[in-house]
Structure 1
Amino acid sequence: MKERRPDFKDIKSFEEFTRYYWYREELSKICKSLGLEYRSTKQELNHIIEQYFMGNRIEKSQRNGKKSQTEVVTLCTPLLECAFTFNQKFRDYFSAVTGVSPFKFNADMATAWRKVKAENDLNFTIGDMLKVYYGESDYAKYDNSVCQWNQFLKDFFLDKFSENYFDKLKVAAILWKEVRDSKNEKIYSRELLNKYRNKIEEYHK
């Protein structure tokens, strides 16, 4: 029987939150109800909710209660002054600059934007974001271990052998720690249950 997804208010941790699938619109409504930034990509909204569970609030940008007056966007325009977001307007702009159509923002760009907002970096420009796109900047790099953990967790829950454990999330975390810290591929396989059986049994003692 499929596990029923609880209401967000009843979820106690980000680990529990990631066990369920959420649409971007749902994430946006959750963030808005919590007084957090809600006009972002799905990836950013997940990050905002993760930070919320860690006790960090990424609140809606106020910009002194006024919308930015900057209408003309150039490579020298700071992101925080042009109401930057991953929408069609800026997709068209980067498409025109790069000659890439359709243009797609990449994970490093999303990571850089999160850093700009978190640090209120008023000096980071559209040109700097373009360097991130081309891989010419080390301003921010996306940590793909988050995606790897989510896929690992999903594959573990799909394995019928995971039903043998009461606290499946904890068992998955034990296995992930071993895989993450090893030189092996960061994927789930049933063999891991046998390989790290002792560690799992130690937890259940």
Structure 2
Amino acid sequence: MKQLTLNEFKQKYFYKTELQDLCRQYGLPTSGTKAELNSYLEAFLSGIPKEQIKPARKKQQVRQLTVSEITLTTPIVDSGFSFNDASRQFFAQYFHIEHFSFKKEMAIIKRAAEARQDTDMTVADLITQYQELASVKQHQQIVNRTAEEQTYQWNSFVRDFCQDPVSQQFNNKLKVAAILWHHVKNSAKPKRFTSDLVKTYAAEIKHFKKNK
């Protein structure tokens, strides 16, 4: 199979499974977030030998902690701490709520600590940094600028399409969004929705409505 060029790679949108397939094909690390997989491929296609491209974060080789073993002083890297049912119960008890859902900001902080191999960062530090980030007035803009968030263009595309008044004429909005996304995904166009796309591909959408 012909190797992608860096420019071709940057112009196309890839799902995570497609990125993993490419990494496997080129002998690169296949585990990690979409942003991390993207970084491996960009490095390789930029000319860096695959032997020099290492996983951004190493997998924990230790047993996962139980809820009774988690404390505020527990390191979040290489201790067995993970975002699982045990830590969910711990955070529910800490915040005095019945059910706790992991926050996006927490995942961002934990991945950054893993990438740095910051074995000094504790659960207490994680909570403090999360609360500081959540208290920033523009915290959502900060989250959206992270590399990982920028890989979810399809979700943003569908959301923006459904929020645009032009979408109200369609009963099956998801199918129409998929038709438009297909063209954007495989082009050099920005991976975002604009109402002009509906005009550009009106004939194809009309054909779908007629034959569904």
Using a 3 Å threshold, how does the CA distance of structure 1 residues 190 and 113 change in structure 2: closer, same or farther? same
Question: How far, CA to CA, are the matches of 1:32 and 1:191 in structure 2?
Answer: 34
Letter in 1 for 2:188: K
Question: How far, CA to CA, are the matches of 1:15 and 1:61 in structure 2?
Answer: 29
Q: Name 2:150's counterpart in structure 1.
A: 146
CA RMSD of aligned residues (A): 4.5
- Check the 8 A contact 2:35/2:151 in 1, yes or no: no
Q: Is 1:134 the equivalent of 2:134?
A: no
Q: Is 1:102 the equivalent of 2:120?
A: no
Question: How far, CA to CA, are the matches of 2:189 and 2:195 in structure 1?
Answer: 13
- Check the 8 A contact 2:109/2:126 in 1, yes or no: yes
Q: Name 1:67's counterpart in structure 2.
A: 62
Question: How far, CA to CA, are the matches of 1:193 and 1:105 in structure 2?
Answer: 40
Q: TM-score, normalised by structure 1?
A: 0.54
Question: How far, CA to CA, are the matches of 1:27 and 1:68 in structure 2?
Answer: 29
Q: TM-score, normalised by structure 2?
A: 0.53
Equivalenced residue count is: 159
Q: Which among 195, 200, 204 is matched to residue 189 of structure 1?
A: 195
Superposed, 1:74-93 pairs within 5 Å as: 74-93=71-90
Letter in 1 for 2:86: K
- 1:99 is paired with a residue whose SS is coil
Letter in 1 for 2:36: I
Per-residue CA distance 1:60-89 (angstroms, 9 max, x = gap): 6267xx636977221112111422222112
- Check the 8 A contact 2:65/2:81 in 1, yes or no: no
Letter in 1 for 2:180: D
Q: Which among 20, 29, 33 is matched to residue 45 of structure 1?
A: 33
Greater length-normalized contact order (CA 8 Å, ≥ 6 residues apart): 2
- Check the 8 A contact 2:13/2:186 in 1, yes or no: no
Offset at 1:133? Answer: 3.4
* Structure 2 unaligned blocks of 5 or more: 44-52, 162-176, 201-212
- Check the 8 A contact 1:36/1:57 in 2, yes or no: yes
Question: How far, CA to CA, are the matches of 1:101 and 1:143 in structure 2?
Answer: 29
